[in-house]
Structure 1
Amino acid sequence: MPAATRAGQVLQKAGQVAEVIQGFLYVSKFLDEAQKKHAEDIIVECVKEAHFKVEEDLFGKGKTLPATDCKKPPSVEKKLAPTWAQHLGKLKHAMAFECIQQRLAEKFPNNFSIEPRYRREEFTNDLMLTDRWVGSKQPDVVLHFTRNATRIQCIYELKFPCGNEQSNPWSGEVQQQLALYKALGGECEPVIVTPQLEISRQP
């Protein structure tokens, strides 16, 4: 084989390797600000759609549950929880998760997880995924480093106020919950997402 031909093949292979490395470096990262904003818009859209779709299916178009009924047992055949507030919350979370999974998978398939469960390794304190409930934390939606859910970028907790009640989303209980999520680490502060206020950051 002529030397020029061998040299050409070596250069071609080197170029292919360089392209693979460059591609890996390109995709293995956190989302940039524009991508993160796009992901957040998708999460908000799904939360709103889930809220209004569940309300419409149960109560009719443009109608909602009176706040006075939120603590009453749900008047449906298949009860998911003892109160309307909890029942609606479960339905809306399930629908929002399905929507988020489908739409984020189209744009950022390797940079998000839905309901990952985390705990700290006992001896090293390293963050790890687990199926152990005791001592673990399970945020709703996590943006993270490519193919690495333990390198957290941002945490989003979905909240669905019941019916037409107007409550402060940043209750003491919610603040405590997100403080625990903050302790998991991340590039940004954990936030809550509601159909009314969209992305809500702690005041």
Structure 2
Amino acid sequence: MARIGWLHLSAFLCISCSTTFQPGPLQAQPSRSGQLTGARSRFDQSCGPACATPVSASTGELIAPAATRTGQVLGKVVQVAEAVQGLNTLERALTGAELDLVEATLKACVAQAHADINEAYQQRDDGFRFENGKFPNDAECLKVVGFDEVGDEVSLAQELGKLKHAAAFACLKARLPPELRENFTVEPRYKPDPDVNGVALTDKGVDTLHPDFVVHGTRNATDVQCVYEIKFPCFAAHKLDPRNSRWVEAQLKAYQKLSIRCPAAVISPAGLFQLGIP
């Protein structure tokens, strides 16, 4: 069976990205921000459009086309202000209240992605519908719906999980406040780094850790604060608490090695579950 081509992901990703989302009252929790300690390697994320601005070879200044003298002065003031702001936010960890907001948004986006993709998946020309109505049963979860790039079979459970992750990530990037965007990374991959007694970022490797969502120090994805794994269980045995899976429990224990500041957590449509915490 050919890999599914009817599903236009971009058409419904924005369903999960509504900017009208208003998180409900957040329960007060102990601050887990902590202090950034230990020798850790730096990780500078892309500096965006500013990197494309021409630079004078003789002066090293940014070149603004047709800039007036006033504009140049204003530009320098802005640059200095941004530099000072950057120093002030360097290595800042999220506060307990900010983490509460992140977790509330994570739970909302995961729940909405789960519902949106299940609904969109059934809007096919062949009239396919889940027997249970809004979600697949165990037999449907095991059904082969296509093949991956190396020819391995792809089950409905795997296909839905991939689509739901993409929708959840789009939702998170749209809903989380701009001031927090330099404090989280989606799907980073880590490897041990003995030189700094910590971890380094990598793009491959069998002995690496690849969590879904990481909260970290400003612009420093290796200064891990909290780690979250997103799960969209398809089978009935795992729907209420994904920690019922030994594989998920092993994942969380491995991810816990990345941070001592808060328990590694898994988020599913049923809510947030932390390692070792009911």
TM-score (norm 1): 0.79
One-letter amino acid of the counterpart of residue 173, structure 1: W
Q: Deviations over 1:106-155 (max 9, x none)?
A: 34111000001111124543311111323211100001111111111111
One-letter amino acid of the counterpart of residue 246, structure 2: G
Answering whether residue 193 of structure 2 is matched by residue 141 of structure 1, we say no
Q: Distance in 2 between matches of 1:51 and 1:101?
A: 17
2:266 aligned residue (168, 192, 200): 192
Query: Contact 1:143 / 1:153 at 8 angstroms: preserved in 2?
Result: yes
2:144 aligned residue (73, 77, 83): 73
Answering whether residue 257 of structure 2 is matched by residue 183 of structure 1, we say yes
Q: Deviations over 1:36-94 (max 9, x none)?
A: 111111111111111000000113696221222211113xxx66662111111111111
One-letter amino acid of the counterpart of residue 182, structure 2: N
1:157 aligned residue (229, 248, 254): 229
Structure 1, 25-34 or 39-48: larger mean CA deviation? 25-34
Structure-to-structure mapping, 1:117-132, within 5 angstroms: 117-132=189-204
Answering whether residue 274 of structure 2 is matched by residue 201 of structure 1, we say yes
TM-fit CA distance, 1:161 = 1.0
The CA RMSD over aligned residues, in Å, is 2.6
Q: Distance in 2 between matches of 1:105 and 1:88?
A: 28
Structure-to-structure mapping, 1:167-182, within 5 angstroms: 167=238, 168-170=241-243, 171-182=245-256
- SS in structure 2 of the partner of residue 93 of structure 1: helix
Q: Distance in 2 between matches of 1:82 and 1:46?
A: 25
Query: Contact 2:265 / 2:274 at 8 angstroms: preserved in 1?
Result: yes
Structure 2 counterpart of 1:92: 164
Q: Distance in 2 between matches of 1:56 and 1:114?
A: 25
Structure 1, 78-87 or 110-119: larger mean CA deviation? 78-87
Task: Please identify runs of 4+ aligned residues in structure 1 that moved more than 3 A.
Answer: 19-28, 78-81, 122-125
Change (3 A) 1:34 1:173: same
Q: Distance in 1 between matches of 2:204 and 2:194?
A: 13
Larger relative contact order, structure 1 or 2 (CA cutoff 8 Å, min sep 6): 2
Structure 1, 39-48 or 20-29: larger mean CA deviation? 20-29
Q: Distance in 1 between matches of 2:117 and 2:147?
A: 14
TM-fit CA distance, 1:187 = 1.2
Query: Contact 2:91 / 2:220 at 8 angstroms: preserved in 1?
Result: no
Structure 1 counterpart of 2:19: none
- SS in structure 2 of the partner of residue 132 of structure 1: coil
Query: Contact 1:50 / 1:95 at 8 angstroms: preserved in 2?
Result: yes
Structure 2 counterpart of 1:50: 113
Change (3 A) 1:142 1:194: same
Q: Distance in 2 between matches of 1:32 and 1:160?
A: 28
